[in-house]
Amino acid sequence: MNLKRVVVTGIGALTPIGNTAEEFWHGLSTGVSGAAPITKFDASLFKTQFACEVKNLDVEQFMDRKEARKMDPFTQYAMISVEEAMKDSGLDLEKIDKSRAGVIWGSGIGGLRTFQDEVTAFSTGDGTPRFNPFFIPKMIADISAGFLSIKYGFRGPNFVTVSACASGTNALIDAFTYIRMGKVDIFISGGSEAAVTEAGVGGFNAMKALSQRNESPQTASRPFDKDRDGFVLGEGAGALILEEYEHAKARGAKIYAELVGGGMTADAHHITAPHPDGLGASSVMKIALEDAGLKPEDIDYINVHGTSTPLGDLGEVKAIQQVFGDHAYKLNISSTKSMTGHLLGAAGAIEAIACIFAMNKGIVPPTINHFEDDEAFDPRLNMTFNKAQEREINYALSNTFGFGGHNCSVIFKKYK
């Protein structure tokens, strides 16, 4: 089969360190932490009292109040980030074949706020089953893709991938595959999450997954640091417009990067813990390299999953050394979750955007909050600690891994 080329022609971001793609990149490149005390609810009784929330957002600047009330925040975030990406792409909706345009979105949890509020209201009431008629449509994860297709009239494939924290990258790979095979010309893809709720924080606390560094939220996400104690919960969305290369070229689109390879594997090991030897992580990077027709030494930068958990960080670095051998010492490696926190199902989308900016700007965003080396990590590895580094990046790889053992890797090529 003659596979089509796939390029990125629009980006949009709504994150804890910036409410547009450019603001997001400015935060990344200057090492800004998005962590702060939780404002969405009273967290004083919780073990973790901080998160990386979206800040200074007025949803009614993007949609009217009546429309907003039909959406859980995770869908609102999707709509806002995609609006930016669509404007950025320059697509003329009157001139494209909408039957060959689709939406593949990602969300690990979906409408958690809606689910929590409705069930709480019922359980604290008199037992009469009074539920909002929008309860189910607001809660279900696929509704984000549904709203997006309705807004833009895209009649092609339309669904949401749910693979925990790998969901956003999973969505990009699925969209990439459809375009590559010639079935679709354009996809809206990416991911969104809005899990900074009592249920979200309480649930992750119960698993002992979150950092509890309440005295210093801004320094709590510290991937690869000896004193890392868990991830920082984040929220937001990232959107990418993926387009078949000839279609993009014919309309004179600006092209940010080319998506050249992807891989998906499973650890088949544990519901939450990664494989201790990085087995699934190493195999997914190998598959992505093979899919892209690249050698390990072609990669310049890896945006790692790097959540700031003791086991996860170690397993991923083991996998990188297995796959890249001596070239691992020539790579730049960084975890942007040190700044954004962990956006769960949206993580892969915003980290893909981070890779694209890094290539186009020639700057590797840092892993901030590094205070003490962990002797478990090879000191020869360049983790880009604390400060951005200038570097020419021709190929960037992004890893995202999820509870359940889901592993996804994508590779972007600098467009010249």
3-13 pLDDT, tens per residue? 999 999 999 99
What pLDDT, in 10s, does the model give residues 2-49? 899 999 999 999 999 999 999 999 999 999 999 999 999 999 999 999
- What number of other Cβ atoms are within 10 A of residue 290's Cβ? 12
What pLDDT, in 10s, does the model give residues 60-88? 999 999 999 999 999 999 999 999 999 99
> Can you tell me the mean pLDDT for 305-314?
95
> Can you tell me the mean pLDDT for 184-197?
98
323 sits in which H/E element: helix 310-324
Amino acid at the residue 328: A
**Domain coordinates of the chain in residue numbers?**
8-407
Give the separation between CA 370 and CA 385, rounded to whole angstroms.
6
The tokens describing 160, both together, are 């949401």
Please name which of 326, 266, 265 lies closest in space to residue 295, comparing C-alpha atoms.
326
pLDDT at 89: 98
Give residue 251's Cα distance to chain centre: 29
pLDDT at 360: 98
Residue 52 annotated as catalytic: no
Contact (Cβ atoms closer than 8 angstroms) between residue 262 and residue 173: yes
> Can you tell me the mean pLDDT for 191-219?
98
Q: What is the 3-state secondary structure (H, E, C) of 35-101?
A: CEECCCCCCCCCCCCEEECCCCCCHHHCCCHHHHCCCCHHHHHHHHHHHHHHHHHCCCCCCCCHHHE
Give the separation between CA 415 and CA 359, rounded to whole angstroms.
9
Annotated catalytic residue, options 52, 165, 355, 408: 165
pLDDT at 286: 98
What pLDDT, in 10s, does the model give residues 106-146? 999 999 999 999 999 999 999 999 999 999 999 999 999 99
Helix (H, G, I), strand (E, B) or coil at 211: coil
- What number of other Cβ atoms are within 10 A of residue 177's Cβ? 16
pLDDT at 1: 74
pLDDT at 95: 97
Please name which of 388, 348, 391 lies closest in space to residue 13, comparing C-alpha atoms.
348
What pLDDT, in 10s, does the model give residues 331-389? 999 999 999 999 999 999 999 999 999 999 999 999 999 999 999 999 999 999 999 99
> Mean pLDDT for the chain?
97
CATH assignment of 8-407, given 3.40.50.360, 3.40.640.10, 3.40.47.10, 3.40.50.2300? 3.40.47.10
pLDDT at 25: 98
Q: What is the DSSP letter of 327?
A: G
Residue 188 scores a pLDDT above 90: yes
pLDDT at 38: 98
Residue 275 scores a pLDDT above 90: no
> Can you tell me the mean pLDDT for 183-187?
98
Helix (H, G, I), strand (E, B) or coil at 152: helix
Q: Read off φ and ψ for residue 195, nearest 5 degrees.
A: -105, 10
- What number of other Cβ atoms are within 10 A of residue 173's Cβ? 25
**pTM (2 d.p.):** 0.98
